[in-house]
Amino acid sequence: MFVLVVGGGKVGVSVTRTLLALNHEVVLVEQDRPRFEVLEEEFEHRAVYGDGTELFVLERAGISRPPDIVVAVTGDDEDNIVIGQLAREKYGVGKVIARINDPRNEPHFDLLGISPTVSATSMVLALIEHEVPQHELVHLLELRKENLEIVEVEIKKGSSAAGKRVEELRLPETTRLISVMREGKAEIAVGSTELQPGDQVLAILEPGGETELKRVLLDGKARA
Amino acid sequence: MKALIIGCGRVGSALSKRLLDAGWEVSVVDESEEALGRLGETWPGEFHVGHALEIGVLEEAGIAEADTCIAATDGDNTNIVVAQVAKQRYEVPHVAARILDPARAEFYSGKGFDVVSPTGTAIEALTESALGGERV
């Protein structure tokens, strides 16, 4: 795989090192001269000096081939957006991953179609939320190695999911319902399973997804 | 008519004053408080301090009601993003961005907002001047 990384900060360098160790082809662009010289020592010809929002710099780094993935991880959100737009729309790069430095800028990335995005701040916040015990949701099991967890949620009268089939729920991609326990009897949750008040639902999800799961299952008249 | 000018440097401030003279309501946004000085001793229009990408600042400055929004900060990429936010999120009827880099200016032309490239203009004018000189 050929990956173009723009931004030689801690994130960009770690990504580059890891991908190189996995025998991928990587080019790393950095615009700060002293920083670039440090990177050149380590990455030699794979480090390219220049402003990664300048077309000729991107072209020198091989964007016209085009790369399989462009990773925009500079410290400036507007730069990451522009790199993403140029990569996708001008050079036909299939996949762009962009870093959001200030979470307040996330709507701009969404609006301009730059996704997936990675925001360290949002991730830390989601993990803090994960550590705070959540009302209405019980953590049953944490699969730390797999980075997954199993939780139990009880559907209430007036919950948004009450009366809905599982296939109608707009669950996040990283969440699945496992089973529904009703009147002491458990059944595997399938698309046609209809949720009812009093149901105890088991779900498997990535840590940090609790709020979204609660929103999909529980929000509604009961909490209004 | 209401204009929102983002960036109060030499270009943004002069443009703001001209639009005001033409009878427009003008609201200006700049990162620095000192930029207000460029608008003269007494500035009758609005002036907001904040970063161009902050939704709160843009809304306070009236982006939702603006007839035109001009992105004229010293950052090409800031102007590119602000212009698209103004056009796509707030549906401002007329939007323009200053983009110094001719290559990016070309790429973003025809994306729903006016692109003004002072560097591109200078290149054309100087080329014309040089070619004109050859004929003398």
Is A90 part of the contact surface with chain B (CB cutoff 8 Å)? Answer: yes
Amino acid A134: pLDDT: 62
DSSP string, chain A: -EEEEE--SHHHHHHHHHHHHTT-EEEEEE--HHHHHHHHHHHGGGEEES-TTSHHHHHHTTTTS--SEEEE--S-HHHHHHHHHIIIIIT--SEEEEE-SSGGGHHHHHHTT--SEE-HHHHHHHHHHHHSPPTTEEEEEEETTTTEEEEEEE--TTBTTTT-BGGGS---TTEEEEEEEETTEEEE--TTPBP-TT-EEEEEE-TT-HHHHHHHHH-BGGG-
Contact B89 A77 (CB under 8 A): no
What part of A 24-83 touches B (C-beta under 8 Å)? 53-56, 76-79, 81-82
Average pLDDT of span A14-37: 96
**3-state SS assignment for residue B54:** coil
Amino acid A223: pLDDT: 39
Average pLDDT of span A129-133: 67
Amino acid B65: pLDDT: 97
Is the ipTM higher than 0.85? The answer is: yes
The pLDDT confidence band at residue A224, using thresholds 50, 70 and 90, is: very low
Q: How far, in Å, are A13, A34, A96 from residue A71 at the CA level?
A: 11, 22, 6
Contact A78 B107 (CB under 8 A): no
Write the residue in B54, B55, B75 that is nearest to A78 by C-beta. Answer: B75
Write the residue in B77, B101, B103 that is nearest to A78 by C-beta. Answer: B77
HEC string of A74-113 equals: CCCHHHHHHHHHHHHHHCCCCEEEEECCCHHHHHHHHHCC
pTM of the model: 0.76
Contact A111 B84 (CB under 8 A): yes
Average pLDDT of span A56-75: 97
What part of B 90-109 touches A (C-beta under 8 Å)? 101, 103-104, 107
Write the residue in A54, A89, A104 that is nearest to B103 by C-beta. Answer: A54
pLDDT tens sequence across A209-218: 888 898 899 8
Q: Which residue has the higher pLDDT, A140 or A197?
A: A197
CA pair distance A219, B7, nearest whole angstrom? 43
Chain B residues whose CB is inside 8 A of the A89 CB are 107
- Mean confidence (pLDDT) of chain B: 95
Q: In chain B, pLDDT over 70 holds for what percent of residues?
A: 98
CA pair distance B70, B51, nearest whole angstrom? 15
Q: Which of A192-196, A208-212, A220-224, B110-114 has the lowest mean pLDDT?
A: A220-224
CA pair distance B114, B109, nearest whole angstrom? 7
Amino acid A94: pLDDT: 93
Distance from A86 to chain B by nearest Cα, in Å? 8
Average pLDDT of span B55-80: 97
Contact B77 A86 (CB under 8 A): no
Count other C-beta atoms under 10 Å from residue A79's C-beta. 26
Strand-strand pairing, B25-30 and B94-98: unpaired
Q: In chain A, pLDDT over 70 holds for what percent of residues?
A: 95
Among B63, B70, B56, smallest CA distance to B114 is for: B70
Contact B55 A76 (CB under 8 A): no
Contact B84 A77 (CB under 8 A): no
Residue A66, preceding peptide bond in cis (omega within 30° of 0): yes
Q: In chain A, whose CA is at the least distance from the CA of B108?
A: A86
Residue A128 has, within 13 A of its CA and on its CB side, a CA count of 6
Average pLDDT of span A104-118: 91
Amino acid B134: pLDDT: 66
